[in-house]
């Protein structure tokens, strides 16, 4: 059984207008995610402090994009995005404030964040199948779910593996956000015409 939300033409235009006005946020987020992913994969930090800083940055970037998404969504989805963004920012702060035992704690946070964020991305993508390119956030969400579930199932993995998971996910998230930004910009041009 599937649930389909039917929007009136006015509601559909309002949603399209909201996304098209914020296309540049998706572009900036996509570029930042890609940069973070490439930096994380190229540095291969050996110290716990460097890992904690990179992981905190990933949490903050994820939290900011979730909060930005909260400004576009409405109803319960808005609150879910705001709560998720706030929790991600808090996790980044906790990583910096509590660095000694943080690696184990961070690996648990990262695993659960990837899993929950992946589920969120899949649900949003599947509820917007009428939008061109809806499948890209779906793929990023599935990868997030897979990486999160794998990390939850293997909490004793090495630091290098944890950082690699964050880097890979960041790159996929960046590509998905870039594709979304171009689609939202195209929608905006169609609305203006």
Report the C-alpha gap between 66 and 34 in whole angstroms. 16
Write out the residue range of the structural domain in which residue 181 sits: 10-53+98-192
- Which residues of the chain carry a pLDDT beneath 50? 1-4
Do the domain assignments include residue 84? no
In this prediction, residue 156 carries a pLDDT of 63
Distance separating alpha carbons of residues 66 and 35, to the nearest angstrom = 18
Q: Is residue 145 part of a domain?
A: yes
Establish if 188 belongs to a structural domain: yes
Q: Helix, strand or coil for residue 98?
A: coil
Q: Which residues contact 107 (CB under 8 A, 6 or more apart)?
A: 151, 155, 157, 162
Domain membership of residue 132 (yes or no) is yes
Burial string for 81-119 (b: 16+ CB within 10 Å, else e) reads bbebbebbbebbebbbeebeebbeebbebbbebbbbbbe
What does the pLDDT read at residue 83?
A: 92
**Within-domain flag for 81:** no
Domain total in the chain: 1
Amino acid 119: pLDDT: 92
Residue 16 lies in a domain: yes
CB 142 within 8 A of CB 122: yes
Q: Tell whether 78 is covered by a domain.
A: no
User: pLDDT by residue (tens digit) across 104-122?
Assistant: 777 777 788 888 989 988 9
Q: How many CB atoms lie within 10 A of CB 36?
A: 23
Integer Cα distance of 163 and 170 in angstroms: 10
CA distances from 66 to 50, 71, 93 (A): 24, 9, 16
Residue 24 lies in a domain: yes
- How much is the pLDDT for 89? 93
Closest by Cα among 82, 52, 48 to 65: 82
| Stated pTM of the model | 0.62
What pLDDT, on a 0 to 100 scale, did the predictor assign at position 3? 45
């Amino acid at each position: 059984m599937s649930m389909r939300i039917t929007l009136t033409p006015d509601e559909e235009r309002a949603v399209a207008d909201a996304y098209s006005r914020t296309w540049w946020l998706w572009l900036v987020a996509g570029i930042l995610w890609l940069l973070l992913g490439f930096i994380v994969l190229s540095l291969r930090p050996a110290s716990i402090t460097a890992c904690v800083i990179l992981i905190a940055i990933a949490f903050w970037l994820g939290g900011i994009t979730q909060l930005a998404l909260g400004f576009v969504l409405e109803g319960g989805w808005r609150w879910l995005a705001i709560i998720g963004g706030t929790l991600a920012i808090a996790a980044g702060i906790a990583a910096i404030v509590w660095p000694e035992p943080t690696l184990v704690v961070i690996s648990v946070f990262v695993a659960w964040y990837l899993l929950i964020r992946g589920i969120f991305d899949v649900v949003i993508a599947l509820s917007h199948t009428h939008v061109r390119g809806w499948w890209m956030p779906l793929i990023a969400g599935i990868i997030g779910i897979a990486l999160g579930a794998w990390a939850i199932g293997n909490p004793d993995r090495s630091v290098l593996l944890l950082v690699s998971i964050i880097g890979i996910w960041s790159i996929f998230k960046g590509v998905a956000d870039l594709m979304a930004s171009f689609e939202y910009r195209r929608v905006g041009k169609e609305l203006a015409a």
